[in-house]
Amino acid sequence: MEDFDFVKAWNDALIKKAMNETSLESIAARLPPEGQAWLNGLNRFCRRTVEYDLRNAGPDQFVEYWKSLRDTLEKLEREFGPSDDWK
């Protein structure tokens, strides 16, 4: 039987808490209706990317600069086609 790894369990709990606190759902209310609609329309691929940016930038910066992120994704889709086709 393996010994319980308290440090790993603690780290896992902290990571899970941090991810929950910075989920797109938790921040949607802080965005204007236009931003909420944009988040709701993201496909799975883009949603994962935007969640990553949210966790790295933090909620305050994300709310301040969400339009820049949206514009960048739209530009990429114009250049490379619909993000639904990206792999």
17-69 pLDDT, tens per residue? Answer: 555 556 888 888 999 999 999 999 988 888 888 998 898 888 999 999 999 99
pLDDT of residue 85: 65
Helix, strand counts (H, E) of the chain:
5, 0
The three-state secondary structure class of 2 is coil
Overall size of the chain counted in residues = 87
How far apart (Å, rounded) are the C-alpha atoms in residues 39 and 54? 12
pLDDT score at 69: 92
What are the domain boundaries of the chain? Answer: 7-85
pLDDT category at 5 given cuts 50, 70, 90 is confident
